[in-house]
A and B are shown apart, each in its own frame.
Chain A
């Protein structure tokens, strides 16, 4: 039975107001509490380690929600999930973790997702992180996503961290085979004393493999962020990395995009920018009647949209 707090957290990280429409597995405080498999989408508990296997049959269309929520303090939850999306399937996968830490101890979730998008399949993957709680305890989220995109398959990743996560170490590793396509959008906001490190490594393994990585972040207060997206072309692939950060207050941002090519036909581009909110943007919005604070909020919200 989900409590009001559980529902609030699920809404934050998975836009769930009620039971998810497709297959789902909800994990709370280290245990699976609700699950539904469907024909062509099977969810099973792993036997050798904590976590689940999600097996999507070839050609299946639908959605899978696998959110995690933590509502206790002094809790460390480690989970390994494997998601296998069959050939030609078209799946929306919503993960994400919401932490409500009511005490002074740490609440930590380490989630390792291994995802295979098989030949010709399509995946839309959304992973949202959120933290809250006024007990003073830290909210820590360390997601690790390992993704294999097979030939002619397509994956779209949306990795979002909104307010309230004190510490995060994000690791994302992707291999894209010939004709495979990856679009990845990372959005991150830190404030106060929060820290966020994001390490992304994408390998373009075959001809006509493509990747587009867009990272947008806002660093406020005394927070610090570090981004190291790496794009490596082993085959004749094309890729683009874009890191863009708004820095405010006393925050610190480090951004080191890297491209590497081992094939003469590869085409890779990277760009990175760190800067404050432009004065002309503030003035424009204020000339429409917004206060300076409202204008700042509007710019940040658009930037992270």
Chain B
């Protein structure tokens, strides 16, 4: 069980406090897949970054397997089995794909470079490629996901895995994310994609740094699509893919 307890996050910008997350209460169970959705700026990636320890919450506590992990570093959380595939993968001059995969294996019982094949990259072509601007955004994104799969963490958060990936690869990616999910893992996918929202056990809708709705697809989906939400700025900013049939 991964628990957010009254998590609030504020940033200070030019001496003014800017609220990012407000009073997030969330319990994520092992064996379940979750989709975290909502408009740009609603706080989805911030929730993931708080979970990974990249952002320290202003208030509230985080628990993983009954342990208070609020003050643990990114490294300590990673070693406890929490993993995060970044929305925009960092580029590294000189570092090769195989180096990154080796670092991913180092502190885990991860699998081998077959993860590259799983995400549609041939190891012979990619293991010695450098993680710099010679790789396209889509290739970087797939390698980012491969490093998370290589670690095989118990809590795995994919931040917009579809971003920058072509349609064919996206279909494959959905299968990989689905297939990698196990009874003892908690999978969170931050996404706007209907296909992802369709494959999860629960959808969590965020708006303005708060959880607006939460439930299984059957419960939440109709509510998301209802005109009450569509009429608000949140839903209209959610994008055409989910709301293609929205009357507005």
Chain A positions within 8 Å of B, measured between CB atoms, are 216, 244, 278, 280-281, 283-292, 298-299, 302-305
Q: Select the stretch in B23-31, B99-107, B167-175, B232-240 that faces chain A.
A: B99-107
Q: Mark B82-118, 1 if CB is under 8 A from A, else 0.
A: 0110101110111110011001101110000000000
Tell me the complex Cα distance, A286–B76, Å. 9
Partner of B75, one of A280, A290, A304: A290
Partner of A289, one of B78, B90, B93, B96: B78
Q: Are B103 and A288 in contact (CB under 8 A)?
A: yes
Query: Count the A-B residue pairs with Cβ separation under 8 angstroms: how many?
Result: 68
Q: Which of B52, B79, B94 has the most CB of A within 10 A?
A: B94
Q: Are A283 and B106 in contact (CB under 8 A)?
A: no
CB of B142 within 8 Å of the partner chain:
no
Closest to A281 in B: B90
Query: Can you list 22 pairs linking A and B with CB atoms under 8 Å apart?
Result: A216-B93, A244-B93, A280-B88, A283-B54, A284-B89, A286-B73, A286-B74, A287-B52, A287-B74, A287-B83, A289-B75, A289-B78, A289-B79, A289-B103, A290-B107, A298-B103, A299-B92, A302-B93, A302-B94, A302-B95, A303-B93, A305-B95
Q: Are B86 and A289 in contact (CB under 8 A)?
A: no
Q: Are B94 and A305 in contact (CB under 8 A)?
A: yes
Q: Are A302 and B54 in contact (CB under 8 A)?
A: no
**What chain B residues lie within 8 Å of A284 (beta carbons)?**
86, 89-90
Q: A283-B54, A283-B74 are in contact. Are A304 and B106 (CB under 8 A)?
A: no
Tell me the complex Cα distance, A229–B78, Å. 42
**What chain A residues lie within 8 Å of B104 (beta carbons)?**
288
**What chain B residues lie within 8 Å of A285 (beta carbons)?**
103
Question: Which residues of B138-159 are within 8 A (CB) of A?
Answer: 147, 151
**What chain B residues lie within 8 Å of A298 (beta carbons)?**
95, 99, 103
Tell me the complex Cα distance, A244–B94, Å. 11
Partner of B78, one of A278, A280, A286, A299: A286
Partner of B151, one of A283, A289, A292, A304: A289
Shortest distance from the beta carbon of B20 to any chain A beta carbon, whole Å: 17
Tell me the complex Cα distance, A244–B86, Å. 25
Tell me the complex Cα distance, A21–B95, Å. 30
User: Given A287-B86, A289-B75, 8 other A-B contacts at CB below 8 A?
Assistant: A281-B90, A286-B78, A288-B100, A288-B104, A288-B107, A302-B96, A303-B92, A304-B94
